[in-house]
Amino acid sequence: MAKSKTVFVCSECGYESSKWLGKCPACNSWNSFYEQKVVETKSKGISQSDGKVAIPQSLNSYEAKETIRTHTGFNELDRVLGGGLVKGSLVLLGGEPGIGKSTLILQICDKIKGDGKVLYVSGEESAEQIKLRADRLGINNEDILFLGETNIELVNQAILNVNPKLVIIDSIQTMYSEEITAAAGSVSQVREITSQVMRVCKSKGITTIIIGHVTKEGNIAGPRVLEHMVDTVLYLEGERYFSYRILRGVKNRFGSTNEIGMFEMQDKGMCEIDNPSDILISEREDNPSGSCIVATMEGTRPLLVELQALTTQTIFGYPRRTANGIDYNRLTLLIAVLEKKAGLMLNSQDVYLNVVGGLKVNEPAADLGIMMVTASSFKNIPIPKDMIILGEVGLTGEVRRINMIEKRVKEAEKLGFKTCLIPESNKKDLKDNYKLDIIGIKDVNEAMKKIGLK
């Protein structure tokens, strides 16, 4: 006979305990334990279930089935997925509320190729709200079915009845299962719902996209509880008040996770950007001081972005440093190197640094660019408009080698740049003849002299 008992589970991280605890020993959150029923079966140790025996076979005796991929209608998304949406796969799309997940998905529902219906299950918005959005996006598609339901058992029933080609669950946090007493959105609910949907859809070969909101720490309802269950995890990122969105692959069983897709949120929904570098640097003014272009890598894709700096006289005693889009500590470190090694007196200057377009640049390859743009604003001398600056800077002011130099230089060449400052040690990595001037740089002072800042 199966015996039923209860355990206490942390709703933040899924830690289990036999008694209630005020503070979770695993994730340190307070008051997060709730009671949950478990069904225990009598263990017989190593047993044969119903007389069946599992027999392992040589891997070579199996044949790999070719994955069937469907085009989503967005090339950017197809690339992130590794060439299209794999039939029968389970995709998790995460992102902050309001970033544009529902909008992007509704557009995919309309554009996706292949026969069959699309089932859009929403626990967040009513049919009227979705219709309003569809009208705004110019979507009028008979094949999109809507279900406003939060009970996952009913949703699964509907999936079996309709047998669609694609199911959307918007969002996982609003769904609940009757089998679990915990509140909707808790770790155990989210886990249970995902495994239920997965069972139904995998058995029928139905492709599923689950939308999940991320918490302020950047996790989808507790640390990574879902990521190991699904085939693909995508995050939609971007600053809410900027129109650019980056779709990033975090996990992909059917492709690489290095790819990103760029979109722009417009008044008619999400539009893909084929050549992001072109757009990101298009609004640059003619030769202002305190502006320069660096090439960062987003996965395997080079992206040219504009850095801007402003230095002003400090009014109060303590100089301010503001970093928007780059790491604050990195900025203070690079300013310290500029002071000590290049002799710039920035200790009575406020320094503001911004990455244009709301992007984040976390790569050390942008170090030299950050320093030069700061020096350019301080000295009020512009950096040539057709110059691109690459290089990591060490604490002694030396310019260090960066990775994937060839891709970065090629992107700069493609967009018509004329000069490229790169680390001297990277020069040997470049074999081809480029149309732009490549100047090898050994340290910060040399870079300043070449630009005319010294």
Tokens 């740089």 correspond to what residue?
Answer: 441
Contact region for ligand TYD (CB under 6 A) — 20-28, 48-56, 96-104, 139-147? Answer: 96-104
Q: Single out the residue of 11, 72, 102, 122 in contact with Mg ion (rule: CB under 5 A).
A: 102
- Cβ atoms of residues 325 and 355 within 8 Å: yes
Helices (H) and strands (E) in the chain, counts: 10, 23
Among 40, 50, 66, 267, binds ligand TYD (CB under 6 A): 267
Among the listed ranges 261-269, 287-295, 310-318, 416-424, the one in contact with ligand TYD (CB under 6 A) is 261-269
* Cα distance between residue 207 and residue 70, in whole Å: 10
Span from 101-109, 180-188, 285-293, 420-428 in contact with ligand TYD (CB under 6 A): 101-109
Task: Give CA angle at 170 (168, 175), nearest 5°.
Answer: 110
- The residue count for binding Mg ion (CB under 5 A) is 1
C-alpha torsion 153→158→163→169, nearest 10: -70
What mask of x and - would describe binding to ligand TYD in positions 112 to 141, judged by CB under 6 A? ---------------------x--xx----
The answer to whether 437 touches 428, Cβ cutoff 8 Å, is: no
Helix (H, G, I), strand (E, B) or coil at 424: helix
Residue 186 within binding range of Mg ion, rule CB under 5 A:
no
Look at residue 104 and give its three-state secondary structure: helix
Which position among 90, 91, 99, 152 is part of the footprint of ligand TYD (CB under 6 A)? Answer: 99
**How many CA atoms, within 13 angstroms, populate the side-chain half-sphere of residue 12?**
16
Beta-bridge partner residues of 437: 419
| For Mg ion, the closer CB: 125 or 259 | 125
We find the least distance from the C-beta atom of residue 109 to ligand TYD, in angstroms, to be: 13
Q: Which run of H or E residues covers position 131? A: helix 127-136
Q: Which of residues 219-238 bind Mg ion (CB under 5 A)?
A: none
User: Quick check: 185 binds ligand TYD (CB under 6 A)?
Assistant: no
Quote the CA–CA distance of 256 and 259 in Å, as a whole number. 7
- How far, in Å, CA of 435 to CA of 418, rounded? 7
Nearer to Mg ion, 102 or 207 (CB): 102
| Residue 136 contact, options ligand TYD, Mg ion, none, Cβ 5-8 Å cut-off depending on partner type | ligand TYD
Q: Which does 95 bind (CB under 5 to 8 A by kind): Mg ion, ligand TYD, none?
A: ligand TYD
Q: How far apart are CA 37 and CA 181, in angstroms?
A: 8
Of the CA atoms within 13 Å of residue 79, those in its CB half-sphere come to: 18
Residues facing 8 on adjacent strands: 17, 35
Q: Which is nearer to ligand TYD, 102 or 207 (CB)?
A: 102
- Residue among 171 and 207 whose Cβ is closer to ligand TYD: 171
Contact present, 173 and 184 (Cβ < 8 Å): yes
Q: Where are the beta strands (DSSP E) in 100-165?
A: 118-122, 144-148
Instruction: Residue 37: name its binding partner from Mg ion, ligand TYD, none (Cβ under 5 to 8 Å by kind).
Output: none
Close Cβ partners of 124 (under 8 Å, ≥ 6 residues apart): 102, 170, 171, 174
Per CB under 6 A, 245 contacts ligand TYD: no
Least Å from the CB of residue 1 to Mg ion: 45
In the complex with ligand TYD, which residue's Cβ is closer, 131 or 340? 131
Of residues 102 and 377, the one with the C-beta less far from Mg ion: 102
Q: 103 touches which of ligand TYD, Mg ion, none (CB within 5 to 8 A by kind)?
A: ligand TYD
Residue 210 CB, shortest distance to ligand TYD, in Å, is: 13
Q: Are 153 and 180 in contact (CB under 8 A)?
A: no
Does 84 interact with ligand TYD (rule: CB under 6 A)? no
Q: Measured from the CB of residue 120, what is the shortest distance to Mg ion in angstroms?
A: 11
Interface residues toward ligand TYD, by CB under 6 A: 95, 97-103, 133, 136-137, 265, 267-269
- The site for Mg ion (CB under 5 A) is made up of 102
